[in-house]
Structure 1
Amino acid sequence: MKKTLILVRHATAEDHSFLIKDFDRKLNDKGLGESAKMGEWLATANIGADIFVSSPAPRAYQTAEIIAEKLGLNADQLISDRDLYDGGPKAYLNALNSVSESFSKLMLFGHNPDISHFAEYMSGTDLGSMKKGSVAIIEFEGLKWEELSAKTGQLTLYKTPKQVSETE
């Protein structure tokens, strides 16, 4: 059965300062708009997921909440995975490999540089740095979640909030 991984980098957040720890940064107004725009685009394009896993950092979790809402899901369906905040690309692989076979589409919300490195690792595509709020879709044929590893998927779509705005 085909597996689909939808990677979402958190949208634009407030700046890091000595008053705000990096982990605690929230989306700013631009980020709230980017998340809503991407959620609406995903809904219009009929791109959804069976399971949503997010870093618990507010900027990633808020991005996940907004997109889930636009896709008609309740925020309590989101799964928080602490390792996605600072666990490196290996944490993303662990999250992916532990998904139940009853699901075929995973939407995973995280941070740069890990999420960009992970997209490249899984697809073998030189994606570069994912833009804030962007979505990368990687598809896998004939493998179980636990079997997915380096270069086993194909990048089928990459979309940024700017690209979505330009098509409106």
Structure 2
Amino acid sequence: MARHDVKTLLVMRHATAAWAADGVDHHRPLTGHGHGEAAATGRWMTERGWIPDQIVCSDALRTRQTCVWIGEALGEKAPTPYLDPRLYGADATGALSIVNETEESTRSLLVIGHMPWVQGLGMRLMSADSDEDAALDMAQDYPPAGLQVFEVEKPWAELDGRDARLVSFITP
């Protein structure tokens, strides 16, 4: 496939969250530190030109707040995020099925979600030619606001496993 046909998949864990005042996990907000982590990840994305055409985000408060900080860093280039409630309780297979629904015209997709599926999805998608250091870092420790960057040469609908090249894993 020609280089211009390579798409980018960004998979991000939400930033550090506090406990919800009402005790409901879905309502957990970001901490002050989490706001800084999310902003730092957004700046990293912007500095490196990783500007998503589309953002799909869990509808939990902490992921929505993370998405706001990413959007702030992206500025006018930020797409309107789609909140998908299926990402909140998903596993890696469920999250992958949401990625598989992406229109082929999307060249760069950011998915913001939760452990353990963000790490599980990365482990499932990572091809044999992935960056070894990035793969080891992601597999050993996936902290809040961690971001995986994959190169994808297949149609979104055909992603299944070991078919995306992990090129970077960053943490704020």
TM-score, length-scaled by structure 1:
0.88
The CA RMSD over aligned residues, in Å, is: 1.7
Query: Cα gap change, 1:76/1:7 in structure 2, threshold over 3 Å: closer, same or farther?
Result: closer
Query: Cα gap change, 1:74/1:44 in structure 2, threshold over 3 Å: closer, same or farther?
Result: closer
Query: Cα gap change, 1:41/1:75 in structure 2, threshold over 3 Å: closer, same or farther?
Result: closer
The correspondence for 1:111, drawn from 99, 111, 114, is 114
Residue 136 (structure 1) aligns with: 148
Residues 91-130 of structure 1: matches in 2 within 5 Å? 91-124=94-127, 125=135, 127-128=138-139, 129-130=141-142
SS in 1 for 2:167: strand
Query: Cα gap change, 1:155/1:86 in structure 2, threshold over 3 Å: closer, same or farther?
Result: same
Shift of 1:95: 1.2
Preserved CA contact (<8 Å) 1:121 1:150: yes
SS in 2 for 1:156: strand
SS in 1 for 2:88: helix
Please give the alpha-carbon distance, in whole angstroms, between the structure 2 residues aligned to 1:100 and 1:73.
22
Residues 1-168 of structure 1: matches in 2 within 5 Å? 1-15=5-19, 19-73=22-76, 77-124=80-127, 125=135, 127-128=138-139, 129-141=141-153, 143-161=154-172
Shift of 1:15: 2.8
Higher mean C-alpha displacement, 109-118 vs 38-47: 38-47
Residue 131 (structure 2) aligns with: none
Instruction: Specify every segment of 5 or more residues in structure 1 that has no aligned partner in the other structure, as ranges.
Output: 162-168
Shift of 1:41: 1.6
Residue 130 (structure 2) aligns with: none
Please give the alpha-carbon distance, in whole angstroms, between the structure 2 residues aligned to 1:58 and 1:88.
19
TM-score, length-scaled by structure 2:
0.86
Please give the alpha-carbon distance, in whole angstroms, between the structure 2 residues aligned to 1:78 and 1:85.
15
Preserved CA contact (<8 Å) 1:12 1:133: yes
Deviations 1:73-131 (A, max 9, x none): 48771001111111211221111100001111100000001110001101154532411
Instruction: Specify every segment of 5 or more residues in structure 2 that has no aligned partner in the other structure, as ranges.
Output: 128-134
Deviations 1:124-162 (A, max 9, x none): 545324110111001122x1110111000111000001x
Query: Cα gap change, 1:34/1:24 in structure 2, threshold over 3 Å: closer, same or farther?
Result: same
Preserved CA contact (<8 Å) 1:65 1:75: no
Q: How many residues align?
A: 159
SS in 2 for 1:107: strand
- Counting aligned pairs with the same residue, the percent is 30
Superposed structure 1 runs of 4+ greater than 4 Å apart:
73-76
